[in-house]
Structure 1
């Protein structure tokens, strides 16, 4: 199944890059990646969902992948929410959102602070309002690291292997090229490091996230990586107590990057949830 390329106009002159799979007449699912990732994080899942009868959109969020970097350096949560709402507005009916980390926070705020009908359902991938600061700090440190880039793909792969020691380092590292930009003979990560200033203020939106969780009425699924250092078992229980209608799946052996750590199990969990809608 071949992906189709799309683009969306967002605020501040930013253009968002996206790919779609499946028939646009089918019910839509939007896949929204986490901080430091790109739409390519979802390719395996996207194809399976499309084969099962869904119209799938995977979007590069502003400052990531092939989407524009914000000309004014604005990367607040409200900027990301506005971008996402703009994508949803192009659809004929409310989509299901599958949001990982940053993408999940954007979806939670968008649905919880909605005005009128918005999402059909929400899947939060290893993210809840109560984020473990140690794990969050490790994510931010990785994203802010290596500001001078890498001399080779192997150097970049070594950095990823150090950050994700539970995941085997691949022998073929060519796939990393999709997450890097080649500039002046060196490889740099595919994200704008200016966004880190906004991410550092994440604690200031926790009250909004908690209020959004309390406001959820749509079908909701929380997927947690069993060895995640960003979402603790206590954080997951707290969310499920706040959203008693939410379903919960824990993926064995997976960390914060659940889809990348155990894609088949992750995809089956999403399909099981979607089949019940």
Structure 2
């Protein structure tokens, strides 16, 4: 029993909490965050009898020096996590989709929050790569702290209140690491997974905040395409639905897990 967060060995920085014999839930964070961002929710899941693993994605936190696209990221996440329920937000949701398609035998259930399977149109994808290139320049200009403040102030996040502790945690990231994540794992960099979603044979819960209209439409479409897909709209939330309505998201995750 891990009563305190302890390291998990593997190709990315990761920590675990709870009884390793219990059903496992793996949490993957969004761009500019670290594994720590999931700990408040993970701790509630562990308190209900489960085992949690949180992972720093390439270019972030303890994996700031790791450079990887989403396929390689999926390889590394799978090597750490093995069989589990995977919960991913935004960038972490796209990583979760890659794990589910590349290692379906490891994904008991997938929970996607504000996740985009990709961009089908080549021209639109090229425009997104250009936009991400602009973000790289802005990151270099502002530094991590300034960039993060500007990032979370976007209308997409619906006035998300970010604590000083959260800002400090995101401030552990590096300009080079975040730039590599944009360049290698951005939505414009990845291949579109829309044509492959029908391959998913595990339950998939696609969630989005009710005030995040773009990603709510995407989540509804994911749930429609996936055989065991389900769409849940998170009330009173924008893109970072799990941060604005954590209890709602905790209960949604618990509703998918085996009884312990």
TM-score normalized with structure 2 length: 0.81
The aligned counterpart of 2:179 is 193
Query: Is 2:253 aligned against 1:270?
Result: yes
Higher share of residues assigned helix: 2
Q: What CA deviation, in whole Å up to 9, does each residue of 1:177-210 have, x standing for no partner?
A: 11113xxxxx95694312222235636511xx12
Runs of 4+ residues over 4 Å off in structure 1: 130-134, 139-144, 148-151, 155-158, 187-190
Match of 1:60 in 2: 56
Residues 199 and 276 of structure 1, relative CA distance in 2, 3 Å threshold:
same
Q: Which has the larger radius of gyration?
A: 1
Q: TM-score, normalised by structure 1?
A: 0.77
Matched residues in 2 for 1:114 and 1:36: separation? 26
Whole-angstrom distance in 1 between the partners of 2:257 and 2:183: 35
Unmatched tracts of structure 2, length 5 or more:
none
In the alignment, what sits opposite 2:167?
176
- Give 1:102's match in structure 2, choosing from 66, 78, 91: 91
Match of 2:29 in 1: 33
Structure 1 residue 83 and structure 2 residue 76: aligned? yes
Extract unaligned runs of 5+ from structure 1: 11-15, 182-186
Which residue pairs with 2:101 in the alignment? 112
Q: What's the offset of the Cα at 1:142? A: 5.7
Structure 2 CA distance for partners of 1:7 and 1:230, relative to 1, 3 Å: farther
| TM-align CA RMSD | 3.3
In the alignment, the residues of structure 2 paired with residue 222 and residue 57 of structure 1 have an alpha-carbon distance, to the nearest angstrom, of 20
CA contact (8 A) 1:126 1:230 kept: no
* Displacement after TM superposition at 1:22 (Å): 1.0
In structure 1, C-alpha distance between the alignment counterparts of 2:91 and 2:70, rounded to whole Å: 9
- Separation in structure 2 between the aligned mates of residue 276 and residue 252 of structure 1, nearest angstrom: 26
Counting only pairs closer than 5 Å after superposition, residues 96-175 of structure 1 correspond to structure 2 as 96-114=85-103, 117-129=105-117, 140=132, 145-149=138-142, 158-160=149-151, 162-163=153-154, 166-167=158-159, 169=161, 173-175=164-166
Q: Which residue of 1 aligns with 2:10?
A: 9
Counterpart-to-counterpart distance in 2, 1:42 and 1:199 = 20
SS at 1:145 equivalent: helix
Give the Cα–Cα distance (whole angstroms) in 1 for the partners of residues 149 and 102 of structure 2.
41
Question: What corresponds to 2:206 in structure 1?
Answer: 222
CA distance in 2, matches of 1:158, 1:196: 17
Return the match for 1:248 from 231, 235, 238.
Answer: 231
Q: 1:75, CA displacement in angstroms?
A: 2.2
1:219 Cα deviation (Å)?
1.7
The 3 A distance-change label for structure 1 pair 142 and 105 is: same
CA shift in 2, pair 1:150/1:103, >3 Å: closer
C-alpha deviation, 1:248, in angstroms: 1.8
- Correspondence for 1:261 among 229, 244, 249: 244
Relative to structure 1, the CA distance from residue 127 to residue 169 in structure 2 (aligned partners, 3 Å threshold; closer, same or farther) is closer
